[in-house]
Amino acid sequence: MESDAATVAARFDLAHLPPDFFVNPYPCYRALREHAPVKQMPDGSWFLTRYDDILPVYRDPKVYSSDKKKEFGPKYGPSPLLEHHTTSLVFNDPPLHTRVRRLILGALSQRHIAAMEPGLSTLVDGLLDAMARKGRVDLIEDFAASIPIEIIGNLLGVPKPERAPLRGWSLAILGALEPVLTPERAASGNAAVLEMLAYLTTLVDQRRAHPGDSETDVLTRLIQGEKVADAGDVTTDERLTETELLHQCIFLLNAGHETTTNLIGNALHALTQWPEEKARLIAAPGDAVLLKSAVEEFLRYESSNQLGNRITTQETVVGGVTLPPDSRITLCIGAANRDPAQFPDPDRLDLTREPNKHIAFAFGIHTCAGMNLARLEAKVAIAKFLARFPDYALDGEPTRGGRARFRGFLHLPARV
Ligand code: HEM
């Protein structure tokens, strides 16, 4: 057994993953944590799996940069995908990152998020009614994916009839971040960036002509930019360029979409595998504390974003290994969140796990800007779903997304 794990760790290559990895990557992560926690891939990059090695990387954005130009230049070549993934805030360091993040966070305060709850409840109720009429449903298409698309559409003020293509664009653009970029993934990702740019150019023009509330409307905030006081206290506008603006919008529409779909889908799937935990949640419908900790546990147990990336700006030591400048690092969130040194009995779903300092939303200056929105969506969706369909059961083979980075299902057939 021991030597099997050592062999799994020795052979691990993110660019050549066996099919069973996508079903259950956790034995492989365990082997890596135990035998090669700072593992060099054949392509020279490094793969980290221990919680205690990953956290310091997130903590130090100066040594571990998020700027992807060096990495993505060769990966994408000159292309729409290159422009997109090197312009969005998540793949930049300060100062661009700081400016954009401030603009976005201003519209995602707890107060603004709480104000979204009534609309979210109505939306979820409508989806539940429609599922009750059908009986046999797809928990992804009929439910999990339908929630974030509306919430994120509202956040950017995308008119309802124009939301249909958002999911496909998001899957294509984020799919191009997979460790292996197939020609098909590159082609569909590039096409999606071009289509989104064309769409958003019109949307931005309309919003410029008719600005929304600059407190709550993210797009209006991004268009207007921020007022910056110079040393003489003269206030000037610091606006994003058109390219910067459009790519932040693309990123926002994508970031809150597939990840949240997968959080809800993975949670409903996990509950079918852990009936006692499911029963606990159903038995205490109004228990807000339990629901809150349950959502944290779903985030830890099947993290919808499994991988993060950084590049070293100087020589540094990680987990006892010296890495030279320009080392590309993959941070395995999925492995850190199952690290027994941080989470006792990590492969168990424990809805009251405490403490639960998972890093599903990463950590440090790039911590997910939408985490409280995602949490709210999951809480409302899961609580209402269980109240309405306590006896739901899977009915047919689930279809996994087949991705290493974004873990979730494309289809989850069930009876409700
Ligand atoms: C379960 C749902 C979600 C998960 C698991 C998730 C996960 C993450 C992670 C891991 C990062 C950090 C990436 C890195 O630095 O390497 C991130 C960043 C980000 N996420 Fe989320 N996310 C979720 C939902 C959302 C939603 C709903 C929104 C928008 C409303 C959103 C907006 C963002 C933004 C803007 C960033 C970039 C932050 C920055 O670079 O400062 N996310 N997310």
- Burial of 122 per CB tally in 10 Å (0-12, 13-18, 19+): exposed
* Atom nearest to 359 CA in ligand 1: 10
* Atom nearest to 303 CA in ligand 1: 5
The whole-number pLDDT of residue 1 equals: 55
Closest residue by Cα to atom 9, ligand 1, is 361
Average pLDDT, the chain: 94
The whole-number pLDDT of residue 321 equals: 98
The whole-number pLDDT of residue 107 equals: 82
Q: Residues with Cβ within 6 A of ligand 1? A: 66, 89-90, 97, 101, 104, 152, 155, 252, 255-256, 259-260, 263, 304-305, 308, 360-362, 366, 368-370, 373-374
Q: Separation of 374 CA from ligand 1 center, angstroms?
A: 9
Nearest CA among 295, 346, 365 for reference residue 50: 346
CA distance 93 to 212: 29
HSE value, Cβ hemisphere, 13 Å, CA-based, for 10: 6
The whole-number average pLDDT for the span 233-259 is: 84
Nearest CA among 245, 249, 90 for reference residue 157: 249
CA distances from 238 to 141, 220, 230 (A): 41, 14, 11
The whole-number pLDDT of residue 124 equals: 98
Q: Separation of 378 CA from ligand 1 center, angstroms?
A: 15
* Atom nearest to 333 CA in ligand 1: 10
* Atom nearest to 58 CA in ligand 1: 15
Q: Which amino acid is at 346?
A: P
Q: What is the pLDDT of residues 60-81, one digit of tens each?
A: 999 999 999 999 999 999 999 9
Closest residue by Cα to atom 39, ligand 1, is 366
| pLDDT score of 8 more than 60 | yes
The whole-number pLDDT of residue 3 equals: 72
Q: Which amino acid is at 67?
A: D
Please give the angle made by the CA atoms of 127, 288 and 117, to the nearest 5 degrees: 45
Q: Separation of 258 CA from ligand 1 center, angstroms?
A: 11
Contact 401/408 with Cβ under 8 angstroms? yes
Q: Separation of 108 CA from ligand 1 center, angstroms?
A: 12
The whole-number pLDDT of residue 110 equals: 87
Helices (H), 225-312: 242-255, 258-273, 275-283, 288-301
CA distance 205 to 196: 14
The whole-number pLDDT of residue 208 equals: 94
Q: Separation of 405 CA from ligand 1 center, angstroms?
A: 13
The whole-number pLDDT of residue 323 equals: 98
Q: Separation of 305 CA from ligand 1 center, angstroms?
A: 9
| pLDDT score of 150 more than 90 | yes
| pLDDT score of 231 more than 60 | no
Probe target for ligand 1 pocket from 368, 371, 403, with the most ligand atoms within 8 Å of CB: 368
Nearest CA among 24, 30, 25 for reference residue 2: 30
Structure token pair of residue 398 = 């689930």
Q: Separation of 117 CA from ligand 1 center, angstroms?
A: 20
Q: What is the pLDDT of residues 76-127, one digit of tens each?
A: 999 999 999 999 999 999 999 999 999 899 888 888 899 899 999 999 999 9
Closest residue by Cα to atom 20, ligand 1, is 368
The whole-number pLDDT of residue 111 equals: 87
Q: Separation of 259 CA from ligand 1 center, angstroms?
A: 8
The whole-number pLDDT of residue 34 equals: 98
Which are the contacts of 331, defined by CB distance < 8 A and separation ≥ 6?
48, 54, 57, 58, 307, 308, 309, 310
Residue by residue, what is the 3-state secondary structure of 338-403? CCCCCCCCCCCCCCCCCCCCCCCCCCHHHCCCCHHHHHHHHHHHHHHHHHHCCCCEECCCCEECCC
HSE value, Cβ hemisphere, 13 Å, CA-based, for 85: 28
240 confidence band (pLDDT: 50, 70, 90): confident
The whole-number pLDDT of residue 233 equals: 58
225 confidence band (pLDDT: 50, 70, 90): confident
The whole-number average pLDDT for the span 2-19 is: 92
| pLDDT score of 226 more than 70 | no
Q: Any idea which of 91-105, 310-324, 346-360, 366-380 has the lowest mean pLDDT?
A: 91-105
CA distance 408 to 269: 10
* Atom nearest to 104 CA in ligand 1: 35
* Atom nearest to 374 CA in ligand 1: 27
The whole-number pLDDT of residue 385 equals: 98
The whole-number pLDDT of residue 274 equals: 98
Which are the contacts of 124, defined by CB distance < 8 A and separation ≥ 6?
147, 380, 381, 384, 385
Q: What is the pLDDT of residues 12-64, one digit of tens each?
A: 999 999 999 999 999 999 999 999 999 999 999 999 999 999 999 999 999 99
Residue by residue, what is the 3-state secondary structure of 104-161? HHHCCCHHHHHHCHHHHHHHHHHHHHHHHHHCEEEHHHHHHCHHHHHHHHHHHCCCHH
β-pairing, 393-394 with 413-415?
antiparallel
Backbone angles phi, psi at 316, to 5 degrees: -155, 165
| pLDDT score of 232 more than 80 | no
Q: Separation of 95 CA from ligand 1 center, angstroms?
A: 19
The whole-number pLDDT of residue 217 equals: 87
Three-state DSSP class for 302? coil
HSE value, Cβ hemisphere, 13 Å, CA-based, for 29: 27
Nearest CA among 166, 155, 160 for reference residue 218: 155
The whole-number average pLDDT for the span 148-177 is: 92
The whole-number pLDDT of residue 227 equals: 59
The whole-number average pLDDT for the span 338-343 is: 98
* Atom nearest to 309 CA in ligand 1: 16
235 confidence band (pLDDT: 50, 70, 90): low
Three-state DSSP class for 34? helix
Q: Separation of 118 CA from ligand 1 center, angstroms?
A: 23
Please give the angle made by the CA atoms of 208, 209 and 214, to the nearest 5 degrees: 50
Three-state DSSP class for 78? coil
The whole-number pLDDT of residue 236 equals: 55
Q: Separation of 283 CA from ligand 1 center, angstroms?
A: 32
